[in-house]
């Protein structure tokens, strides 16, 4: 379990990140896909990470210290059109600079909405992660909103798209799905 968790700091530029050189796992995906909620679920906390039903909730790079051994990093989402261009551009710049420049970033937890097929913005993110060589694990979110059949179909679709079976269907309403992802993250860290 990721039990000993506390909010550490919010930053807008990399020079302000913690200096302890601990490894980082970052949560990346479209706005509203469920990044902050998944972190709460992994922490077994209700509201430590701020969530919202309106896209665009996370606007800063938020650091959480976990078990004094790893940082979990909540990031702003992408793909949300309904905000002023200038502000959106600033978030994207933060996001891209964090992913490409944070030396401690070990793993990206890449969240994709299980209900949809891959969107252009997700495809771009995937290609970019592959290009810069950051390891990532895919979490298909909100699976409680799908029937069993549809979920099987979506899993197959995404494993073919990404040529991997390393795909974790998750729902914050299904503890077992969270435990499986948690196990994977733990193994990765060890």
Q: Which residues contact 75 (CB under 8 A, 6 or more apart)?
A: 26, 27, 28, 35, 58, 61, 62, 94, 95, 98
Region near Mg ion per CB under 5 A, out of 2-10, 53-61, 136-144, 154-162: 53-61
Residue 19 or 46: the one with the smaller Cβ distance to ligand GTP is 46
Instruction: Check: CB of residue 139 under 8 Å from CB of residue 168.
Output: yes
Shortest Å distance, C-beta 49 to ligand GTP: 7
User: CB of 153: closest distance to Mg ion in angstroms?
Assistant: 27
And the tokens for 111? 């969240």
The structure tokens listed for 190 are 């060890």
Interface positions, 61-120, toward ligand GTP (CB under 6 A) = 76-77
* Cα 177 to Cα 75: distance, rounded to the nearest angstrom: 22
Q: Which of residues 118-177 bind ligand GTP (CB under 6 A)?
A: 141-142, 144-145, 171-173
Tokens of 128: 């970019």
* Residue 34 in contact with ligand GTP, rule: CB under 6 A: yes
Site residues (vs ligand GTP, CB under 6 A): 29, 31-37, 51-53, 55-58, 76-77, 141-142, 144-145, 171-173
């Amino acid at each position: 379990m990721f039990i000993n968790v506390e909010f550490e700091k919010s930053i807008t530029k990399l020079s302000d990140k913690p200096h302890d050189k601990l490894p980082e796992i970052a949560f990346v995906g479209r706005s509203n896909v469920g990044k902050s909620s998944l972190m709460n679920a992994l922490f077994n906390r209700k509201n430590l990470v701020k969530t919202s039903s309106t896209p665009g909730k996370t606007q800063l790079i938020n650091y959480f210290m976990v078990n004094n051994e790893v940082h979990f990093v909540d990031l702003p989402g992408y793909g949300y059109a309904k905000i002023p261009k200038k502000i959106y551009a600033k978030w994207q710049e933060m996001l891209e600079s964090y992913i490409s420049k944070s030396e401690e970033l070990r793993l990206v937890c890449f969240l994709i909405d299980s209900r949809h097929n891959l969107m252009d913005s997700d495809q771009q993110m995937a290609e970019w992660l592959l290009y810069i060589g950051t390891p990532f694990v895919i979490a298909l979110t909100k699976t409680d909103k799908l029937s069993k059949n549809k979920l099987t179909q979506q899993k197959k679709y995404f494993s073919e798209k990404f040529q991997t079976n390393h795909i974790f269907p998750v729902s914050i309403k299904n503890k077992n799905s969270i435990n499986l992802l948690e196990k994977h993250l733990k193994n990765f860290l060890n």
